[in-house]
Amino acid sequence: MADPMAMLDLEKRTGIRNSDVDDFVKKTDALQKAISGLASGTVDPSTVSLKKYGILTPEEQAEEDARREKNRIEMAERVKKEKAIEKVKETTKWWDGAEYMYGPREGSKEYEEEQEDERREEQAKRERRTKEEQERLVERYSMDYSRWNEGSYVPDDPATKEEIKVLEDAKEKEDMDKFEASNSEWCKGQLEDIEKRNADKRKKDKSAEASRVKGNKYFGMKKYDKALKEYAAALEKTPYKPNILTNMALTYAKLRQWDDALEYCDRALHCDKGWTKALCRRAAVVVEQAKEEGSEGKIRLARVKALKDLERAAREEPENKDVIKLRDAAVQEISDEGMERRVKAMVDEERKLRKAEKDAADRTNSSLEKGGAEVDDEKKIESSGAEEWLKRGIEKMARGEEFNEAPPVGDFEVVDKLIKRICDGEVMEPMAGKMKEGEEGMGDGIAQLLGIGMEDTTVGGIMKLCLMESKENRVYLRTSGGLEKLCEQAKGEGEGFKERRGVIFKVLAEAVRGVKKNKVEIYDKMGLAAGIACLYAGKSEDVPARAGACSLLASVVDDEGGVEDKSNGLVCGDVGIVMAVSDMLEQWVKEGGEEDIVAAVDLIRDIAKNDKTQAVISKNFGNVQVMEGGVHPVGSLVRVMTRSGCSSSLRESVVCALTNLALIPSIRPTFILGVPSPPSPSRTPGLTSAVRALLATARAHKTETAAARTVALGTLMNATVGKEGDMVKEEIVSFGGIPILVALATSDKVKVAPVVVKQRAAGLLGRVVTSKKGMEAMREDEGGGAKALGRELVKTVMEGWEFEKAKGGGGDEEEEERRADIISHLVRCLAACKPSPGVSIPGYVPSLFRLLPCVQVDAYGGGEITARSVCQPPLPREKGSAADYLGRDGTTVGNAIKCVITYLEGGTVEEVMRCGGLERLVCVLANHNSYKAEAVRRNAAAAMARIVKGSEEAMKRCRELRGMEILVELGRGGKV
C-alpha cells in the first residue's frame, strides 16, 4: 500500500528543497505587498528596494559583478599559491628521496664535495699502486729471502687470488647455512617478508606500466593534460623510473611549460646519468626556451649548453645514429649562426667602406668644380662599386694591361646585381649585355678576376659560380632576401619564366648546399614545390627545366650529416618523383643531352641512399612484374648505360645510382631481367640486364675509368647479398662472369686491374664461387681458374711484398689493408675449389701456412719450437702489415686451414711438415680462445688429424708438441 505522506513529500519526489520553496513563497508575498502598496499609494516608490529578493538595479548588478570577479581572482590566486606550495613540497620530497638513493644532486655543494673526495681517492689509489709496484720491483731483485718463510709469504698472483676467493665464498656459504639452521623461524619470517615486498613491488610496477601505456596513448592523441595525469599516477607508484620521467618532460615540452620539462629531464638524469633520451630532450628544451624567452645572446649560450648534452649523449651511445645526427645538427646550427654573424659584420663593413668612398669622391669632384676647372668624364672620380671595378678590370685586360686594383667591396654587391638582373628576366643573357659594343664580356672578366674557370658566362651561370665558391655568399643570399626572390621566379608562369626556370633551379641547387636554413627557406617559400611540380609536369616543361629541378632535389636530399628536415622528408617520401625521373630517363635516352641525364641520374643516386626512399622504392618497385610491365628505375638506368655515345663519366654516375639501389633487398632480383637496348647503328637490338652491363663496365679497361669499374664491381657485390642475391650470382655465372673476375683478380697489368679493381674482383668472386653454380663453373674450368687464383695467392704472399712486415718499416697502411683483403678473398675462393689446385703450384702450402699464427721458439730449448713454446701466444705481427690485418680475421685463418685439408686429399704430408705447418696448427689449437669462429678450431683439428694419420713422423712430432693431448682436451670440452 502506498504511503500518502511520502507522496506529499515534494523534496523527495522532485529534488527541490522545502526551504527553497518557502523562500520563494516569501519573496513572492513581499513582492505582491510592494506592488499593492505602490498601487494604493501607501508606499513611497523611492523607498522600495528589491535587492534582498534578488532583483538588482543596473548599478547594483555592476557592483555585484565586480565583487564576484574580485572574489574569483582572489580564489584563483589562492589556488595558484596552494599549487605552487604543493609543487615545492613534491619537488623537495622527490629530491630528498632521490638524493638518498642516488647521491647528491649534480651541481650542489654536496655533489662537488663528493666529486672532490672521489678525485682524492683515485689519486690515493694511483699512489698506492705506484708504491706497491716499486716495492714489488725491489723484492724481485732483493737478496733477502726471509719473505719466503712460512707464514710471511702471501701470494698475489691472479690464480692464487681466485683460489682464495673460492675458499672464502665456500666458508661464507657454510656459515650462512649454519646460521639458517640455528635460526630457522627468524629466517623464514625474513624470507616471507622479502617475498611480500617483492610481490608489492611487482604489483606497483604492473600498475605503473599500465598507467604509462595509457599516458602514451593520450600523448599520441595529443591529449597532453590527460597524458600528464596518467604519467603522474605511474610516478606515484614508481617515482624513479627514468623512462616515465622523460615522458613527463616531453609532455611538458609539448605544452611549452619549459621549466617543468627541464625539471623532469634533470630528475631522469639523476636516476640514470647515461639516459640519452633525457639528455637529447633537455638539449631541445633549453634551445626552445631560449628562443621563446631570450635574446640572440641567450639563444647562442643555450645552443652551446645543448651541444654539451648532445656530446655527452654521443659518448654514452656512440653507435646510436639518431643521437649522432642530433649532435652533428647542433654543431652545424652553431656553425651556421657564426657564419651569419660574420656575414652581417662583412656587410656592415662593406656599407661603411662604400659610403666612405662615395663621400671622398663627392668631395674631390666638388673641390675641382669650385676651383673653376672643367672636369671631363675621364678625370671625374666616381663611386667604385663592384660593376665599375669589374668594367675597369675588363677594359685594362682587353688592352693587355695589368690590373692589380683590389676590389673595393666583397662579392655581396656582385650577388645583389646578379639577383636584380635575374629578377629583370636576364638570366639567360650574357654578362656583356649591359656593356657597350666592342667591350669584352663581363662573364669572362669575372672569371679571370675571381680566379675561377667558367664555361657558362650567362647571368645564371655566373650566379651559380658565385654561390659555389663561397658559403658566405649562400648565407648572404638568404639574409638579404635574394633566395626568396629566386623562389618567386621559380614559381612564375608564362613563356618568359618557363625559358629561364631551369637555370633558376640550378642556382637554387647551389644556394642550398651546406646551408640547412636555406633548405628550410626554399621549402617555406615554395621553391621546392615548384621544382617537384616541374618534374610532374612532364613534357609540358622543357628538358633544361626538369634537369634543373633534378639538381635542386638532389641538393635538398643530401642531409649532410644532420637531422633530416621537412624539405628532405618531402622529397624522399614521394614515390612519384622516382617514377617521374625514371620516365624522363626513358625519353632522354633518345633525345636528351648528357648534362641533363647526369642530373636525373644523380637524383636517383642521392634519394636511393635515404632509408625512407628505400622503403618507398621497395614497396612500389620491388615486384619483378613491375619492371617487366612498366617504367622502373633499374631498367631506365640500364638503358642509359647502353645508350649510344654514353661517356665514361655518365656511366660512372649510373653505376653509382645502381649501387644504392642494390642496397634494397627486393630490388636485387630486377638486376637479372633483360632490358631492351636503345637503337644504335653499331649494335643489333637485344636484351641487356643490369648484371651484364655492370660486368661489361668492369672489364672495359680501355674505355672506362678505374673508379667506374671499381664501383661496378662494388654494385655487384651489393646485389649478391642475402637470399635475394642468389639469382644475381647465377646470372653472373651464366654470363661468363667467373673467367672475367678471375682475369681481373690475377692480372699483373696495372692498367688492366689496379689494386682497387683486383680487390673488388676478388671479393665478388669469393661470393659467386660459394654458390652451387659457381662451384660447378670452377670445376668445369678444369682447374684453370683455380690454378690462376692459387698462383696469385703464392705471388702475393710469398714473392710480391713483405708479408710479415709492412713495407719500409711502416708503409702505407691503407695499401697493406687492401692487400690483406685481396688475400682473404683469394683464400675464400680457393677454399671452395675441389680438387685443390695447390698440388701442382710450388709454394702453395707454405703460403697458406703463413696466414696462420707464427709460433714462438723456446728460449730455454735451444731456440727450437717445443711443447712449451707452442702453447704460448703467437708472435705479434708488425702493426699496419697485411699479416696484422689478417691475424685479426679468424675467418681467413679458418679458410686457409680448409684449403690445407683439401690439399691433403691429393698432396703430401711431407710438404706440410717441411714448412712447419704442424707446429702452426698446434699453436692455433693451443690458443683457440683467440678465435671466435668455431670453424677455426674445427678445421685445425680436422687438418691435424689427417696429417698425423698419414705419417709416422708427423704423429711423433705431434706427440712431442703435446698436440694430441690438446686435441683430446678440446674434445672433452665440446670445443671441437
- Model pLDDT, residue 375: 45
* 621 vs 629: CA distance, rounded Å: 11
Residues of the chain with pLDDT under 70: 1-15, 43, 45-56, 137, 139-157, 365, 367-411, 425-462, 465, 469, 494-498, 559-565, 592, 623-630, 677-686, 781-783, 799-812, 861, 880, 928-933, 972-976
- Model pLDDT, residue 390: 53
| Per-residue cell: 950 | 698419414
For the question of whether the overall pTM of this predicted structure is more than 0.75, the answer is no
Residue 440's φ and ψ, nearest 5 degrees, are -70, 155
- Model pLDDT, residue 47: 67
* 182 vs 4: CA distance, rounded Å: 78
| Per-residue cell: 48 | 522600495
The residue to which cell 708438441 is assigned: 961
- Model pLDDT, residue 53: 58
- Counting beta carbons within 10 angstroms of the beta carbon of residue 783, is it exposed (0 to 12), middle (13 to 18) or buried (19 or more)? middle
* 878 vs 880: CA distance, rounded Å: 6
List beta partners, residue 458. 430
* 668 vs 723: CA distance, rounded Å: 10
DSSP state of 425: T
| Per-residue cell: 511 | 644556394
| Per-residue cell: 115 | 666529486
* Virtual torsion, Cα 519, 525, 530, 533, nearest 10 deg: 90
> Which H or E element spans position 138?
helix 109-140
Are 924 and 931 in contact by the 8 Å Cβ rule? The answer is yes
| Per-residue cell: 791 | 698462383
Are 766 and 829 in contact by the 8 Å Cβ rule? The answer is yes
Nearest CA-CA partner of 868 in 857, 878, 879: 857
In one-letter notation, the amino acid at residue 787 is K
List beta partners, residue 688. 675
The residue to which cell 679493381 is assigned: 757
Q: In sequence order, which ranges of 575-632 are alpha helices (DSSP H)?
A: 575-591, 594-607, 611-621, 624-629
* 437 vs 433: CA distance, rounded Å: 9
Are 290 and 261 in contact by the 8 Å Cβ rule? The answer is no
* 905 vs 836: CA distance, rounded Å: 8
* 741 vs 850: CA distance, rounded Å: 25
DSSP state of 721: S
- Model pLDDT, residue 947: 87
* 316 vs 327: CA distance, rounded Å: 12
- Counting beta carbons within 10 angstroms of the beta carbon of residue 815, is it exposed (0 to 12), middle (13 to 18) or buried (19 or more)? middle
Q: Number of H helices and number of E strands within the chain?
A: 47, 2
| Per-residue cell: 666 | 627486393
